[in-house]
Amino acid sequence: MPTTENPLSLILDTNIGDDIDDTLALALILNSPELELRGITTVFINSARRAQLARKVLSVWNRADVPVTAGCSLPLLQPLTQGVGRQLQDFDLPQAEVPLPHSVDFLVQSLEEKWPILAIGPLTNVALALAREPRLAEKTRLIMMGGQGPQGERREWNIHCDPEAAAMVFRSGIEIWQIGYDVTSQVRLSDTHLARIASENNPRAELLARLIRLWQNGKDALPVLHDPLAVLALVTDCIQFQEMDASVELCGDKRGMFCYSAPRASHIHVAVSVDAPRAIDIFMQRILSD
């Protein structure tokens, strides 16, 4: 585990702006002294506006030094029909797009730094970076929220949005630590947790509370800590993993779902269980820290 004396540098690849869990994961990273965020790459529909939201969060944390790059807005093959979340539609972000380097370029340029990639969105950026520079698979590792473990029976959003990209990544040989929906769905905040965040009188909590309300859109939805759990995997032992072989189905009724088998190699680690109460406690302690 990284420590405050020896923090772990990492890159966050995110589709921030749809579900609230990406924003909560970014805030958790910024409030974790064992982690040093070296860059943010954005992915999926209107990735440039997602980059603007990431910059907004960074500014409230006084971390404008972290580079933010916009990446792929379209999946490799399949068409898109859905729009973007209310955090991107209704939040007061600049209307003009800021010219940014491309996220795939940033990921490739970070090769020699060997920074791990924390991917909490579709894997399009990561797949194209690995295709352009296969040495990434040897130089770094991927911690990801996506798919479902061997007990799961559903398509998960991040993989569903670009199954071809996920298949490329899982075939690349890169070391993967996969936290799937079957595990993350066990970690849900309560109304009491949201009230605690809303009661904090500081700009960071106020921003989170406002974005949570936008995401709720007048409903009583409660955040599930899908993406924050991938962050917690880096700094706690509340998640248990097993080595497995894993591949992504690309055809038929199971398109976008995973197939698991006994491991022939040890580079894929799949989350199989979580201490959910402990994960929530750690998340809340960190998210509310100054």
Query: Which candidate, 185, 189, 121, places its Cα nearest to that of 148?
Result: 185
Helix axes 47-60, 203-216, angle to 10 degrees: 150
Let me know how many helices (H) and strands (E) the chain has, helices first: 13, 10
**Computed from CA positions of residues 242, 244, 249, 252, in that sequence, does the dihedral angle turn out positive or negative?**
negative
Rounded to an integer, what distance in angstroms lies between the CA atom of residue 186 and that of residue 167?
Answer: 26
* Whether 267 is catalytic: no
Task: Tell me the two tokens of residue 133.
Answer: 């520079």
The one catalytic residue among 160, 193, 226, 269: 226
96: exposed, middle or buried (Cβ count in 10 Å: 0-12, 13-18, 19+)? exposed
The tokens describing 138, both together, are 């040897």
Give the list of residues 6+ apart from residue 117 with CB closer than 8 angstroms, or none. Answer: 10, 11, 13, 107, 126, 140, 141, 142, 143
Give CA–CA dist 142/152, Å, rounded: 21
Per-residue CA distances from 62 to 56, 70, 260, 261, 288 (Å): 10, 20, 42, 45, 16
* H-run or E-run covering 8: strand 8-14
How deeply is 192 buried, as exposed, middle or buried, from its count of CB atoms within 10 A (0-12, 13-18, 19+)? exposed
Residue 252: exposure state from Cβ atoms within 10 A (0-12, 13-18, ≥19): exposed
Residues annotated as part of the active site: 226
